[in-house]
Structure 1
Amino acid sequence: MAMRIRGSVHSSDPTKPLSYMGAFKSGDWGLLVVAGQFGTQGDATPAGWTGIYDTDKKDENWIRSTTVAVHKAQRSTEFRGINWGSKSAEYKGRQCAYLVVIDGSTIDNMELEAIHSTENAQLISDVPCFGIMTMHATAAEGIVTFPTTTTIVTNGDWGKKTDSSWSSIAVNYATTPFTAPAGGTIAKSRTFVKVTEHVEQASEDPTMANGTRVEYFVWSGTDAISCVSMKAIPYGSRSVEEMLKTPKFFVAHRGGSASWPEHTERAYSQCPIFKTHGLEMSCGQSSDGVWFGCHDQSLSRLVPALTKPVDQYTWNEIKAAASRTEYMPARLDWLIEHYIDSHVLVVDPKYKTGKWEEFLAVFKGLENKIIFKAYGDTRWAFDPIRAKGVKTWGYAYAGDKDKAWYADWAAGKTCDVLSMEYTAPQEIWTALKVSGKPLVSHIPSVPESVKMGWDKGADGTICSNPKACISACA
């Protein structure tokens, strides 16, 4: 699958954090490059990122200061508010930064190579890769560019000035060997980031041993479309009791937000293929009363045209704007119609939790098929909801342990399922185990993080990346 860039952002003002404000999601990758005019800028790798830093060697005037860092997001806010400027008050040189956000479904890994000078041209054959050049030059000098036979992500013209000296960054992407140019007096450092592109599994060939084929067709409404392969789709858990008794049960967070566009029919339709036991939906409500998949108060993170809270739009207005993006949210009634018989639904009304009675009325007669999910301090709703025979799921974080409500929550007095971040210290997990309640780790997006939850004592996981992580449940 070809690498796909979601977008990018650049800055020459180190006093302001770098924020990519386009749509991105858990599981996406970020590539950050920071360049300093002088060799004393210091490493700008953000906390939690993997980075490399290099600087001038013996006043050679190459490299100057260069940081290159990569990160796979586990939350959909991690490419915002990045402080990248020099931490030294003594540093007075020019600084610039460039951030690229890559669709995580199209690549599996990014591996940093060493930072080199650009004194000589260099043949690059270890592809696919991102190429990076940092530039520090006078007003009279122009940019140095990668070959046009590669994909130019940015040529750095955003930092070029004609009235003063300037600094900038050029980035390309190549899938075939190419020669990176010498830098002359302009480009100072060169780096390459090796990329492992995601390879989709080939479809099964339906040809029989005797050469005949079994063909199946799907009716589109106007045409019969031949399917080249088929497979049995497994059931998930058909009741809450069944799921909570299943070792290492797996709930798809927002329908698998790191595997497919979150809260969409496409996402929920893919989850059963990867053997999920439950499907989670955070819900918003339109002004005309339609419940649908929506995690935030506004849909602007995914559908930029919808800037107001979702309850200020009719469903038709939401549908019209979302249909121009890949984030057309699934309706709750659609999810019930298609998956209530085969999967447990974990539902969270988010900003409409105060309307829990109206929300639960949607599930009348389905009480053993759903779990009501909310933040751990929501006892005011949990108590009456449990009295109606509906199981409750409360989530919390390690930082909550000193809050007034936490002790009763951790003892299992307020909810039926306890969900804790997989990165929480072992002592927190050990204390939760004493409650006797099912414990869930949230919200891993890679197999190693799922395994971390199992090792700490989790009974289940609510995971954003079923495609990558379901193997960790074996």
Structure 2
Amino acid sequence: MHAQRSGDAVTAHLSRRAMVLGGAGLLAAVAGCARQMPRDNRPRTLTELVTETPFYVAHRGGGRNWPEMTAYAYAQAAALPFVHAIEISVCRSSDGVLVCSHDPDTLRVTGVAHTVAQTDWATLSGLMVTSQYTDDPQQPARPFTRLDEVIGTYIQRLVVFVEPKTLDAAEPLMQALVAVKQPQRTVWKQYVNSPNFTRAKANGFATWGYVLNEAAHLDGLERFAADPAIDLLGIGVTETDDVVRHVVAVATKNRKPVMMWPITTGAERARALTLGCRGLMTSNLKTVPAWPL
């Protein structure tokens, strides 16, 4: 992915939101350490998070339970005592605002069609994210949300997995996260063959490379897993047991945890743990962590 230059206003806005966190990256020694999931709101660094088995990451802020990647969803997730990490996808508006959005357009989540990169924040800020994909579709829609609102509120106590979803968002996102100056709770998330991991590590961030069942990922898996620029590996819940076992085996050999996504049921959680995954990225925070291990 080739990065684009961001606007100074976005970086300046984030740099004013100084927060306290711990150091960057994973220690290889913690890869084999595990303890039962704590149920308290004590701030975690990533190094602390990955000692928990399982460790949870709120996928899209808990998009199965609340309108995805909205400030409201992240507030609900952050209030839960077992949530120590959240996940955010990022696109960039036409006027340089980094927004919380998995899709490059707004149609799926708002019912109104705008290409984010071609739309200014004044327009995007008036959109409402639907609840139709949640377990309570009668709940109110919630406002479309900008990244700095979420980062500024939570990165001082939660680990934040952040992914640029469009080419034009990568460079401004990298600059914005550097400006926050809180690397130990910052995880740069992309495809396992992304060229951005080395730079993310140079900026002090941890990294999570997720693996798809395709040659570009699996043929180079040994190399990716051994790469010191990649700290964790990820695998999708829809992949076969054989693919999951392969990814886990290669990652384990390189002392790196594997996280499965997106977990939505107790059965999916049980399968992930049985197959050796240590982390669970889940959109269903109301149900999945409540099931007994």
TM-score of the superposed pair, with normalisation by structure 2: 0.74
1:379-458 residue pairs with structure 2 within 5 A? 380-400=195-215, 403-422=218-237, 423-426=239-242, 427-428=245-246, 429-458=248-277
Residue 250 (str. 1) matches residue 250 (str. 2): no
Partner of residue 67, structure 2: 261
Q: Structure 1 residues 236, 303: CA separation in 2 closer, same or farther (over 3 Å shift)? A: farther
Partner of residue 313, structure 1: 119
Question: What SS does the corresponding residue of 1:362 show, helix, strand or coil?
Answer: helix
C-alpha displacement of 1:310: 0.4
1:398/1:425 contact within 8 Å kept: no
C-alpha displacement of 1:316: 1.0
Question: What SS does the corresponding residue of 1:361 show, helix, strand or coil?
Answer: helix
RMSD of the alignment, in Å?
2.3
1:58-137 residue pairs with structure 2 within 5 A? none
C-alpha displacement of 1:339: 0.8
C-alpha displacement of 1:414: 4.4
Question: What SS does the corresponding residue of 1:442 show, helix, strand or coil?
Answer: strand
Q: Structure 1 residues 385, 441: CA separation in 2 closer, same or farther (over 3 Å shift)? A: same
Q: Larger C-alpha radius of gyration, 1 or 2?
A: 1
- Residues in 1 aligned to 2:273 and 2:95: alpha-carbon distance in whole angstroms: 42
Letter of the 1:375 counterpart: Y
Structure 1 residues 311-341: Cα deviation after superposition (integer angstroms, max 9, x where no partner): 1111110122337981422221111221112
Letter of the 1:452 counterpart: R
Residue 285 (str. 1) matches residue 285 (str. 2): no
- Residues in 2 aligned to 1:473 and 1:387: alpha-carbon distance in whole angstroms: 39
Partner of residue 174, structure 2: 360
C-alpha displacement of 1:239: 1.3
Partner of residue 193, structure 2: 377
- Residues in 2 aligned to 1:402 and 1:358: alpha-carbon distance in whole angstroms: 26
Q: Structure 1 residues 391, 272: CA separation in 2 closer, same or farther (over 3 Å shift)? A: same
Partner of residue 461, structure 1: 280
- Residues in 2 aligned to 1:469 and 1:370: alpha-carbon distance in whole angstroms: 24
Letter of the 1:395 counterpart: Y
C-alpha displacement of 1:342: 1.7
Question: What SS does the corresponding residue of 1:398 show, helix, strand or coil?
Answer: coil
2:211/2:236 contact within 8 Å kept: yes
- Residues in 1 aligned to 2:222 and 2:98: alpha-carbon distance in whole angstroms: 33
1:392/1:417 contact within 8 Å kept: yes
C-alpha displacement of 1:435: 2.0
Partner of residue 273, structure 1: 79
C-alpha displacement of 1:398: 3.3
Partner of residue 153, structure 2: 338
- Whichever structure has more strand as a proportion of its residues is 1
Structure 1 residues 235-275: Cα deviation after superposition (integer angstroms, max 9, x where no partner): 26431211122221100000011111100111111113332
C-alpha displacement of 1:438: 1.5
2:90/2:169 contact within 8 Å kept: no
Letter of the 1:266 counterpart: Y
Aligned residues: 239
Letter of the 2:55 counterpart: F
TM-score of the superposed pair, with normalisation by structure 1: 0.47
Question: What SS does the corresponding residue of 2:233 show, helix, strand or coil?
Answer: strand
Question: What SS does the corresponding residue of 2:108 show, helix, strand or coil?
Answer: coil
Letter of the 2:282 counterpart: C
C-alpha displacement of 1:406: 3.2
C-alpha displacement of 1:433: 1.9
Structure 1 residues 35-81: Cα deviation after superposition (integer angstroms, max 9, x where no partner): xxxxxxxxxxxxxxxxxxxxxxxxxxxxxxxxxxxxxxxxxxxxxxx
Question: What SS does the corresponding residue of 1:301 show, helix, strand or coil?
Answer: helix
Identity of counterpart residues, as a percentage? Answer: 26
Structure 1: unaligned runs, 5 residues or longer: 1-232
- Residues in 2 aligned to 1:318 and 1:357: alpha-carbon distance in whole angstroms: 21
- Whichever structure has more helix as a proportion of its residues is 2
Structure 1 residues 187-228: Cα deviation after superposition (integer angstroms, max 9, x where no partner): xxxxxxxxxxxxxxxxxxxxxxxxxxxxxxxxxxxxxxxxxx
Partner of residue 210, structure 1: none
- Residues in 1 aligned to 2:48 and 2:292: alpha-carbon distance in whole angstroms: 16
Moved over 6 A (4+): none
Question: What SS does the corresponding residue of 2:287 show, helix, strand or coil?
Answer: helix
Structure 2: unaligned runs, 5 residues or longer: 1-38, 131-139
Higher relative contact order, chain-length normalized (CA < 8 Å, sep 6+)? 2
- Residues in 2 aligned to 1:260 and 1:236: alpha-carbon distance in whole angstroms: 24
- Residues in 1 aligned to 2:66 and 2:88: alpha-carbon distance in whole angstroms: 14
